[in-house]
C-alpha cells in the first residue's frame, strides 16, 4: 500500500449483509455528534492507513484483526481537502461480534443492515457515499 498523506482510516466490517457501526458521542465539539459511524479514526504519528484503522478498532471495540483480513481503498478526505482517508473492508465472524466491548468513545455499537445504514438519517453522509461506491 503506497504511503500517501492521509487523514484517517475507517473499517467496513460485514457479516451476512450487516455492518459494524458505532454511535458517536453526542458532543458539540466533535464532527457528526450522535451519528452512526464506522469504526476507525484519525491518524497518529506516521502510522500506515491499515495500522490506523486496526488500532482504532482495538481502542473503540476491543477487537484485534491482522492486516491480512482487510483490503483498503482511498477516498478524498471530508475533513482535510487535499488529503485522503481510507476505507478498509473485511468480514467479521459471529464469535468476533460476541467479543465486542465498547471502549471509551461512542454511546453504543450495532450490527446494522447495510441497506438501513445507507438510508439512515443519522448515518455519516460521506460514508454512505463511500459504501455505495464499493457495493
DSSP β-ladder status, 71-76 and 18-23: unpaired
User: Mean pLDDT in the chain?
Assistant: 94
Rg (C-alpha) for the chain, rounded Å, is 14
Q: Has residue 1 been placed in a domain?
A: no
Rounded Cα distance, 73 and 49, in Å: 10
Angle at CA of residue 9, ends 99 and 126, nearest 5°: 105
Q: Has residue 117 been placed in a domain?
A: yes
pLDDT at 125: 96
Cell of 112: 446494522
Q: Has residue 85 been placed in a domain?
A: yes
Q: Has residue 89 been placed in a domain?
A: yes
pLDDT of residue 72 exceeding 50: yes
Domain that holds residue 75: 6-134
Rounded Cα distance, 82 and 88, in Å: 20
Q: Has residue 68 been placed in a domain?
A: yes
Could you list the beta-strand ranges (E) of 67-107: 71-76, 84-91
Q: Has residue 42 been placed in a domain?
A: yes
Q: What is the DSSP letter of 95?
A: H
Q: What distances in angstroms separate CA 47 from CA 6, 8, 28, 68, 79, one per listed residue?
A: 10, 10, 28, 16, 18
Give 84's strand partners.
6, 76
pLDDT at 3: 54
Q: What is the CATH number of the domain that holds 21?
A: 3.90.79.10
Q: Has residue 76 been placed in a domain?
A: yes
pLDDT at 2: 47
Q: Has residue 41 been placed in a domain?
A: yes
Q: Which sign, positive or negative, has the C-alpha torsion 51, 25, 110, 100?
A: positive
pLDDT in tens, 75-100: 988 887 788 999 999 999 999 999 99
Number of domains in the chain: 1
pLDDT at 4: 62
pLDDT in tens, 20-66: 999 999 999 999 999 999 999 999 988 999 999 999 999 999 999 99
Amino acid at each position: 500500500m503506497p504511503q500517501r498523506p492521509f487523514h484517517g482510516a475507517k473499517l467496513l466490517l460485514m457479516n451476512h449483509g450487516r455492518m459494524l457501526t458505532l454511535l458517536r458521542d453526542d458532543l458539540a465539539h466533535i464532527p457528526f455528534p450522535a451519528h452512526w459511524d464506522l469504526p476507525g479514526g484519525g491518524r497518529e504519528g506516521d502510522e500506515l492507513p491499515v495500522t490506523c484503522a486496526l488500532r482504532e478498532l482495538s481502542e473503540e471495540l476491543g477487537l484485534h484483526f491482522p492486516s491480512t483480513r482487510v483490503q483498503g481503498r482511498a477516498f478524498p478526505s471530508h475533513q482535510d481537502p487535499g488529503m485522503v482517508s481510507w476505507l478498509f473492508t473485511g468480514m467479521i465472524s459471529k464469535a468476533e461480534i460476541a467479543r465486542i466491548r465498547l471502549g471509551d468513545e461512542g454511546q453504543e455499537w450495532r450490527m446494522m443492515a447495510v441497506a438501513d445504514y445507507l438510508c439512515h438519517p443519522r448515518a455519516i453522509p460521506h460514508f454512505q457515499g463511500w459504501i455505495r461506491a464499493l457495493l
